[in-house]
Structure 1
Amino acid sequence: MTNKYILAISGNDIFSGGGLYADLATYTTNHLHGFLAVTCLTALTDKGFEVFATDDEVFDHQLNSLKDVPFSGIKLGLLPNVRLADKALEFVKEHKEIPIVLDPVLVCKEKHDVEVSALRDELLKFFPYVTIITPNLVEAELLTQMTIKTLDDMKVAAKRLVNLGAKHVVIKGGNRLSKEQAIDVFYDGKNYEVFETAVLDTNNIGAGCTFASSIASQLVLGKSAKEAVAVSKEFVYQAIRHSDKYGVKQNYDEK
């Protein structure tokens, strides 16, 4: 373990596949000392998979408790509402000199369109202060308000996100464009890089969280944004490929 400290501002995943569990596991794998500010709890209820936002005052206390920790990096995951996102933004502004990764989680089944729109507008405010954003295709569509069907569409969306203030963008295509290849597009405002790996037939959850927290870890360890994405793409691929060795996979329809 190094003396580098890295923060995850993210939510609890009751199934322990994504969210803060993925963040801490990834930090530990990279020999970094991970800290947490928890944004929400999750659970299966009679209404399905639900997200319960952390109380505003409690979230404030968490961030205030961490204000003097000399963080070398921050990863932001699920911010369940505008109030908590605004509090996280103020914390980010105070740490804008360090690498910061924003995974702009926007799609929750219990959110209404009005809530998603308000949260979208709030997340756009983060763009000038973070190093890289890591939306999946659906999140990229919501942020850019365009439809993404092809690799060229992904490149157009990445450019739009930079025009909206992002410094670097990686759009996670998953297997939506191809059933054989998982395609991601990185853009730094000048050049595009397309990353492809074979699609693996698994039921794992948390790959997006792991990808973002791995990028944050690699930035803290001195990699450039493009290098961090390349290393993290391979890291997630290998983690999924070998996941059967370390636990029982389960298919949760609610996820």
Structure 2
Amino acid sequence: MKTNYILAISGNDIYSGGGLYADLATYTANGLHGFVAVTCLTAMTENGFDVFGTDPTVFGHQLTSLKDVPFSGIKLGLLPNVEIAEQALEFVKAHTDIPVVLDPVLVCKESHDVAVSVLRDELIKFFPYVTIITPNLVEAEILSGQTIKTLEDMKKVAQVLHGLGAQHIVIKGGNRFSQEKAIDVYYDGKEFTILEQPLLTTNNVGAGCTFASSIASQLVLKKSVSDAVAISKDFVYQAIRHSDQYGVKQHYAQD
């Protein structure tokens, strides 16, 4: 039986709830062989949760080491700075024949300072080369430059992101519009699909990473984009149901 190799270009989570740990756990749950190119390390310091970008030279060596692996898919997570993002983009451009999922992590940079603006512009450069992007509400607002207050706003922002080059978009709405349901909007450039699950109050650390890596896994398994998104919504719901204090637990996701 053919082995499907899938790459995560993502950072570590010192508590192992999200980041590359969630990616690899999700790949394994889907029967795939996962690889990782590490973009950053994290730690709790006196300043709170800190992100330490991988040295660009070291990151470049990681990508060079993987250039001959016959990947069937790629998921991109936290890209901590422009240097790392530029190298990741060149790698993606060399793999346009396989599905690529971009989780445009900007939430830890919500101060809207110059660094966020520059990284936003860099992430938009990925849009034409990836299969789908999976921003949460804050990230969608930063990327589009628009405010989201309603479900209709989510749809309008999805159209803006499509206009910026994104082929498929799913905006993760969480519980902003309902205290009973977690609502996401998927847009394929033509039609909208509203995805809902009952709202869970258990720990959801790593849910966004798991969602994106699950979509990537399903695309590798030859599901359509719309089916991959729907399957992954259910997958994450079950993972959150079985979460512990450090994050979602993907190995229970298909109970």
- TM-score bracket relative to the smaller structure: over 0.9
**Residue deviations 1:137-196, cap 9 Å, x none?**
000000000000111000000011000000000000011121111000000000100000
- Report the counterpart of residue 251 of structure 2 in structure 1: none
Q: Is the Cα contact below 8 Å between 2:109 and 2:116 reproduced in 1?
A: no
- Report the counterpart of residue 209 of structure 1 in structure 2: 209
Secondary structure (helix, strand or coil) at the match of 1:37 reads strand
In structure 2, what is the Cα distance between the partners aligned to 1:36 and 1:250?
Answer: 21
In structure 1, what is the Cα distance between the partners aligned to 2:87 and 2:32?
Answer: 25
- Report the counterpart of residue 235 of structure 1 in structure 2: 235
- Report the counterpart of residue 169 of structure 1 in structure 2: 169
- Report the counterpart of residue 92 of structure 2 in structure 1: 92
Q: Is the Cα contact below 8 Å between 1:18 and 1:206 reproduced in 2?
A: yes
Structure 2, unpaired ranges of 5+: 248-255
C-alpha displacement of 1:60: 0.4
C-alpha displacement of 1:107: 2.2
- Report the counterpart of residue 33 of structure 1 in structure 2: 33
Q: Is the Cα contact below 8 Å between 1:103 and 1:209 reproduced in 2?
A: yes
- Report the counterpart of residue 23 of structure 2 in structure 1: 23
Secondary structure (helix, strand or coil) at the match of 1:108 reads helix
Secondary structure (helix, strand or coil) at the match of 1:43 reads strand
In structure 1, what is the Cα distance between the partners aligned to 2:129 and 2:233?
Answer: 24
TM score, norm. by length of structure 2: 0.94
**Residue deviations 1:2-27, cap 9 Å, x none?**
50000000000001000000000000
Kindly indicate whether residue 92 of structure 2 is the aligned counterpart of residue 124 of structure 1: no
Runs of at least 4 residues of structure 1 off by over 4 A? 109-112
C-alpha displacement of 1:203: 2.2
- Report the counterpart of residue 249 of structure 1 in structure 2: 245
In structure 1, what is the Cα distance between the partners aligned to 2:132 and 2:199?
Answer: 24
Secondary structure (helix, strand or coil) at the match of 1:79 reads coil
The alignment yields a C-alpha RMSD, in angstroms, of: 1.4
C-alpha distance 110-130 of structure 1, shift in aligned 2 (>3 A): closer
Count of matched residue positions in the alignment of Structure 1 and Structure 2: 247
AA aligned to 1:48 is G
Q: Is the Cα contact below 8 Å between 2:158 and 2:169 reproduced in 1?
A: yes
Q: How much identity, in percent, do the aligned residues show?
A: 74
**Residue deviations 1:11-61, cap 9 Å, x none?**
000010000000000000000000000000000011111000000100000
C-alpha distance 6-86 of structure 1, shift in aligned 2 (>3 A): same
TM score, norm. by length of structure 1: 0.94
C-alpha displacement of 1:106: 1.1
